[in-house]
A and B are shown apart, each in its own frame.
Chain A
Amino acid sequence: NAGVTQTPKFQVLKTGQSMTLQCAQDMNHEYMSWYRQDPGMGLRLIHYSVGAGITDQGEVPNGYNVSRSTTEDFPLRLLSAAPSQTSVYFCASSFRTGVGEQYFGPGTRLTVT
């Protein structure tokens, strides 16, 4: 199993550009989520999904969109990039029960200039 994969690893955007961060998992996990990691702030939940076709907002959803058309994929879209979105983005997945651990991807380091 590849686990949770994310692409790209690094990305530089100009203010106002849009892009999609890709996330895929091959563990048949129902639950997937996106976090951003900023120094001194831990991980903050952006959006999550409890299954194909179902998504919901987390703590910091503004400026981001998600969709979940398949169990495996959970892309994160930046609609109009802003310098405040400079961060490291992690995708994670887990079984739906809520008591299991989450498996994290390697992260995407995004810089918005």
Chain B
Amino acid sequence: AQSVAQPEDQVNVAEGNPLTVKCTYSVSGNPYLFWYVQYPNRGLQFLLKYITGDNLVKGSYGFEAEFNKSQTSFHLKKPSALVSDSALYFCAVRILSSGSARQLTFGSGTQLTVLP
């Protein structure tokens, strides 16, 4: 079975400081990893994904994530946080196999608050 863990329910960071939102995963095959963001009263929006290749993935709004196979992690990062980055962030994993090939498993979410 595949699973995703986001160990921090809440992350606070000052505007202009770098931010990190953590994600670890557990799968039995090669993972496809995703980050989504949810603003209040909205649906989830795609930020970035790792499929294969370069371990550092760049996405929307200046976000990036680093895939670390040995640590089974896929942390979301941004060099300089903005107040507008405040939102709920979800990590998700999918594996390609028969049966549940297309099911996406989500973490519990991390609320990011950027303080002015």
Question: Chain B residues near A50 (CB, 8 Å)?
Answer: 102
Interface residues of B in 87-114 (CB under 8 A from A): 90, 94, 96, 101-104, 106-109
How far apart sit A33 and B43, CA to CA, in the bound complex (Å)?
A: 14
Query: For this complex, into which size category does the number of interface residues on chain A fall?
Result: 20 to 34
| Residue B9 interfacial (CB < 8 Å) | yes
Interface residues of B in 62-108 (CB under 8 A from A): 90, 94, 96, 101-104, 106-108
Question: Chain A residues near B106 (CB, 8 Å)?
Answer: 35, 42-44
- Closest Cβ–Cβ distance, residue B21 to chain A (whole Å): 14
Question: Chain B residues near A14 (CB, 8 Å)?
Answer: none
How far apart sit A105 and B36, CA to CA, in the bound complex (Å)?
A: 13
- Closest Cβ–Cβ distance, residue B103 to chain A (whole Å): 6
How far apart sit A106 and B42, CA to CA, in the bound complex (Å)?
A: 5
A residues near B (Cβ < 8 Å) are 4, 31, 33, 35, 40-45, 48, 50, 58, 90, 92, 94, 96, 98-99, 101-107
